Amino acid sequence: MTVLMQEMSWPAFEEKTKALAPFFLPVGATEQHGPHLPLGTDAFLPTHVAKEVAARVGGVVAPAIPYGYKSQPRSGGGQHFPGTTSLAANTLTLVVRDVIHDLGLHGARRFVVVNGHVENAWPVIEGIDLALRELRRDGIDDAVALRLEYWDFVQTETLDRLFPDGYPGIDLEHASLLETSMMLLVRPDLVDMSKIPNDGPAEFPKFDRYPTPPGLVPASGVLARAQGSTAEKGEWLLTDHVNLITEAISAEFSLQTR
């Protein structure tokens, strides 16, 4: 049986709510990822993780929110790159609120919001808070939501294998080794290894300046080196992400895994 909500009939959906299945909501972005990766990378990856985990815990994956909060230079390159299409923080908050609230009205009680875009964190938190408030207002006081960034679920040993000279941190990994390797596993048809640029890693001050100064971000939009990316490395990462998130959710909701 499918785990994708958009492929379910309403009776199948209702069965899932009666079983207290966890409902996963991937929240991504439509954002530049260099000349070698697609604009939808931040939606493809959390959706893949959500599908894999949902299959193990009997969950449902709601359609991903494909737009995220505004791209920032130090973590995403910035809004000036063609194709980067974003939401204001309040808009994203209200979308998350409305989706969770409606799912709750239709019987969902366990939510897992899987974030795929660094800048989304606080608008998503606010959306969850507002949704749970509205559900309580409507007499539904047993809803529980978990929010996570999938990249936090990785073993130190895996990062040491990937970065023997030291892990630069998730912000600089935009369109770099991690995302490129995972996309080579998840959607290799959308990766063009011949277009990986040679610039980077980016060097940023420890503050943000607006408007963004010209030349602050590498012209390619890639913030660190993507050379050496392979599907095998992507598999190392995604295995950790799926296994560790499955363990965390199963423990939190007392679920049996398949």
Give yes or no: 48 in active site.
no
- Is-catalytic flag, 174? yes
Kindly name the residue from 36, 48, 101, 174 that is annotated as catalytic.
174
223: which residues sit within 8 A by CB, 6+ positions away?
75, 77, 171, 172, 173, 174, 175, 176, 200, 201, 202, 217
Is-catalytic flag, 42? yes
Q: Active site residue: 42, 52, 173, 240, which one? A: 42
Set 48, 52, 119, 241: catalytic member: 119
Which one from 36, 48, 117, 241 is the annotated catalytic residue?
Answer: 117
Select which of 31, 52, 173, 240 is catalytic.
Answer: 31
Confirm if 130 and 41 have CB atoms less than 8 A apart: no
Q: Is 240 a catalytic residue?
A: no
Query: Can 117 be counted among the known catalytic residues?
Result: yes
Catalytic residue among 48, 179, 240, 241: 179
Q: Which residues are catalytic?
A: 31, 33, 42, 117, 119, 174, 179
